[in-house]
Amino acid sequence: MEERRKHQRIEINEPAYVSAGGSVMSCVVRNVSPDGAAIDVDNPAFVPARFRLVMANGATVHDCVVAWIQKNRIGLTFVATTSAPSSSASTTAPDGALR
């Protein structure tokens, strides 16, 4: 099979959590690269298409999308997050004045 990844994955086998919509599920991160990871879960049917992967040590959080599923292993692609404008940011009124 042809390797399509840009970066080599590093085997880590560390505990983590799948977090989405207020629900949290434990998983094990089997390998990771700058672009994605592979995780093992008890039941892939309960993993949403998009979620946050939170490492158990709390040091790293990634927004992810599911790239593939094979049995209990799920391949993930890390996605960039877009920040919402801050509520303290100034806005321009219809008359052109900053508010």
Whole-prediction pTM: 0.76
Question: What number does CATH give the domain 10-78?
Answer: 2.40.10.430
pLDDT score for 99? 47
Terminal CA-CA length for the chain: 58
- Domain parsing of the chain, residue ranges: 10-78
pLDDT score for 4? 63
Measured over all CA atoms, what is the biggest interatomic distance in the chain, rounded to whole angstroms? 61
Whose CA is closest to 49, among 13, 74, 82?
Answer: 74
Residue 46 CA: distances (Å) to CA of 6, 27, 62, 82, 84? 29, 12, 18, 25, 28
Report the distance separating Cα 73 and Cα 71, nearest Å.
6
- Percentage above 70 pLDDT, the chain: 76
Q: How large is the average pLDDT for residues 82-92?
A: 48
Report the distance separating Cα 27 and Cα 58, nearest Å.
14
Confidence of residue 9 (pLDDT cuts 50, 70, 90): confident
Per-residue pLDDT of 43-59, as tens digits, reads: 999 999 999 999 999 88
Residue 31, beta-bridge partner list: 11, 38
Confidence of residue 5 (pLDDT cuts 50, 70, 90): low
Question: At which residue do the structure tokens 């993993």 appear?
Answer: 47
